[in-house]
Amino acid sequence: MLSNEALEKIDIELAKYPDNRQRSAIMSALRIAQSEKGWLSHELVGYVADYLKIPPVQALEVATFYGMYNLKPVGKYKLTVCTNLPCALSGGVDAALYLKERLGVGFNETTADGMYTLKEGECMGACGDAPVILVNNHKMCSFMTTEAIEKKLAELQ
């Protein structure tokens, strides 16, 4: 279900932990699987669990506990906007409202063309750079004014 490249990345993570503690690699293994497939289906979670030789339920409870795993399909680009208090004071809420109108979707919704999913985020630890938007979990975009959002959307095609 996963490419050799993804499995090699999981092996690198596995090597960080002591023998018989492969359960520790589940968070990164699920991240790597999600990066390749876009979201975590139950089959994929089960596959990753088998690869690590842990019971599927141990993988599923991690997938459902941590907020950055996608348990449903998402658009090509998942945009997560922080609207927590410090960000709100520097335009976080305004950025989220702008994106809602611009994309015509609410939080946890995907545009009809399947391009963008909009999410509301909690503290990303970057309050000084507000408004902050995270693209597909791994690329953080700072100071996202209206102009900066438009520029970013033009790049994300």
Partner 1 sequence: MAIYQSGVIFENVDTKNPDCWTLDSYLNRGGYTALKKILNEKITQESIIADMKTSGLRGRGGAGFPTGLKWSFMPRTLEGQKYIVCNSDEGEPGTFKDRDIMAFNPHSLIEGMIIAGYSISASVGYNYIHGEIFEIYERFEAALSEAREAGFLGKDIQGSGFDFELYAHHGYGAYICGEETALLDSLEGKKGQPRFKPPFPASYGLYGRPTTINNTESLASVPFILRDGAQVFQDKGVPNGGGTKLFSVSGHVNRPGNYEIPLGTPFTKLLEMAGGMRDGKKLKAVIPGGSSAPLLPASIMLECNMDFDSIAKAGSMLGSGGVIIMNEDVCMVKALERLAYFYHEESCGQCTPCREGTGWLYEIIHRIENGEGRINDLELLDSIGNQMAGRTICALADAAVFPVRSFIKHFRDEFEYHIEHKKCMVSHKWC
Which residues contact partner 1 by CB under 8 A?
Answer: 16-18, 21, 23-28, 30-31, 54, 58, 61-62, 65-69, 83-94, 121-130, 134, 137-140
Residue placing its CB nearer to partner 1 in the complex, 82 or 103: 82
Nearer to partner 1 (CB atom), residue 62 or residue 79: 62
Q: How far is the CB of 63 from partner 1 (least distance, A)?
A: 9
Neighbours of 122 (CB within 10 A): 10
Pairing of strands 133-135, 77-82: antiparallel
Nearer to partner 1, 75 or 121 (CB): 121
Residues in the chain: 157
Q: Which residues, listed in sequence order, are joined to residue 79 by a DSSP beta bridge?
A: 118, 135
What is the enclosing helix (H) or strand (E) of 93?
A: helix 92-103
Nearer to partner 1, 109 or 120 (CB): 120
CB of 39 to partner 1, least distance (A): 14
Q: How far is the CB of 131 from partner 1 (least distance, A)?
A: 9
Distance in Å, CB of 137 to partner 1, minimum: 7
Tokens 């009809």 identify what position?
112
Element (H, E) at 152: helix 146-155
- Least distance from partner 1 to the Cβ atom of residue 113, Å: 26
Our CB check for partner 1 shows the closer of 17 and 42 to be 17
Please choose, from the candidates 62, 154, 61, 74, the residue with its C-alpha nearest in 3D space to the C-alpha of residue 119: 74
Specify whether the CB–CB gap between 10 and 17 falls below 8 A: no
Give the span between the Cα atoms of 131 and 124, in whole angstroms. 11
